[in-house]
Amino acid sequence: MWVPELVSNEELSSKQSRTHTQGDQMQYVISAENLTKTYGDVTAVDGISFNVPAGEAFGLLGPNGAGKSTTMKMIGGVSQRTSGSLSIMGLDPESHGPEVRAHLGVVPQQDNLDEELKVRDNLLVYGRYFGLPMSYLRPKADELLEFAQLTDKAKSKVDALSGGMKRRLTIARSLINEPRILLLDEPTTGLDPQARHILWDRLFRLKEQGVTLILTTHYMDEAEQLCDRLIVVDKGRIMAEGSPASLIREYSTREVLELRFGSERNATIGAELEGIGERLETLPDRVLIYAHDGEAALEQVSARGLRPLTSLVRRSSLEDVFLRLTGRSLVD
């Protein structure tokens, strides 16, 4: 088991004050102001601003194509912004690319492990890019393999690993330089539920060690589980910002009643449900009734003589927040 290497708050803040420039970004490890990126006529990121303090798990939630990955690439110091300002640990990634990247651990959306090398060698080679000596890298690689639950795969070729294992190896690789900031771009996309839970557990442990996590996802459950605070992004703009709970409080009701009347009737039944709950959302496959008490709302529906094929009462989630803000679902 990997024993977390705890850095005290004092040590952390003294590190930051060394690396930080004077001014209002003092307490933030990442600071973006009016960040914009255009590709030709397409504006991928449209003037977004946010600050991330040390140790926070900060999420960018939004559908595919919202500009999350582009934002991550700019934070990661691999893509240059079109306008606005950006500072990572007090450094501008445009002028201090290698210095900024030396602070980061990066888990890209698509795995780019070296499939021709063995699992452990992937970690060693990656550590060399940071100029780390082999005397450090060999034991560190073993530690990280343990952390990623891949010790018995150390000598396997990468292509022999499952999707979840590759993802964990990518995370292990991103930790080889002991970064204080970890960028995760859609870390669990394409994984089965069990693999996702293992991964979340590992990310939790990093968070406990005080690593700042920057995470993009289009899974609301992931955002709810992992993020202290998040921004909801759509079409390159920030739609809302806050903790998962406060966003749900602000933009949704406590509970949601989901009703299915069959694809033909869903669209037309809306009028008959008018007045039940605080708000009504009609989707192609179901009708959502937003109410403080979902069971009570369901009773009202029955009282009007309506018989849905299925009904479900659940707590509001970030999915509902997104639906409210954009009128669309997160996952199409």
Partner 1 sequence: MTEQSAPSVQGAGGRGPAAPALLRAHSPAVSAARARRWGSFYYAEQVLRVMKGYGWTIVMYGVGQPVAYLFAMGVGLATLVDTNSGAAFGGVSYLAFIAPALLISAAVMTAANEFTFPVMDGFKWRRVYYGPHASPLTPEQIASGHIMAVSLRFLLQSAIYFVVVALFGASPSGWGWVSVLVATLAGLSFGLPLMAYAASIKEDKGQFAMVMRFIVTPLFLFSGTFFPLDSLPLVVRWIGWISPIWHGTELGRVFSYGYEEAPLLTIAHVVFLVGLAVAGWMLTKRQFVRRLGQ
Q: Find the binding residues for partner 1 in span 64-103 (CB under 8 A).
A: 76, 78-80, 89, 96-99, 101-103
Alpha-carbon distance of 167 to 253, in angstroms, equals 36
Under the binding rule (CB under 8 A), the answer on residue 60 touching partner 1 is no
Give, to the nearest 10 degrees, the angle between helix 318-326 and helix 244-251: 50
Which one of 51-59, 132-140, 209-217, 272-280 is the stretch in contact with partner 1 (CB under 8 A)?
132-140
Q: Find the binding residues for partner 1 in span 227-266 (CB under 8 A).
A: none
Alpha-carbon distance of 74 to 195, in angstroms, equals 28
Residues that bind partner 1 (rule: CB under 8 A) add up to a total of 50
Q: Find the binding residues for partner 1 in span 290-309 (CB under 8 A).
A: none
**Minimum distance from CB of 212 to partner 1 (Å)?**
13
**Minimum distance from CB of 330 to partner 1 (Å)?**
26
The one among 6, 24, 26, 129 contacting partner 1 by CB under 8 A:
129
The one among 24, 26, 27, 114 contacting partner 1 by CB under 8 A:
114
* Strand ranges (E), the chain: 28-39, 42-53, 57-61, 83-88, 104-107, 181-185, 212-217, 229-234, 237-242, 255-260, 279-282, 287-291, 310-315
Contact between 177 and 9 under an 8 Å Cβ cutoff? The reply is: no
Which one of 59-67, 142-150, 279-287, 323-331 is the stretch in contact with partner 1 (CB under 8 A)?
142-150
**Minimum distance from CB of 25 to partner 1 (Å)?**
17
Contact between 233 and 67 under an 8 Å Cβ cutoff? The reply is: yes
Nearer to partner 1, 96 or 249 (CB): 96
Contact between 167 and 191 under an 8 Å Cβ cutoff? The reply is: yes
Alpha-carbon distance of 75 to 94, in angstroms, equals 10
Alpha-carbon distance of 146 to 159, in angstroms, equals 19
* 288 alpha carbon, distance to own chain's centre: 26
Per CB under 8 A, residues contacting partner 1 are 1-3, 5, 39, 76, 78-80, 89, 96-99, 101-104, 106, 108, 110, 112-117, 121, 125-126, 128-132, 136, 138-140, 142-143, 146, 149, 151-152, 173, 176-179
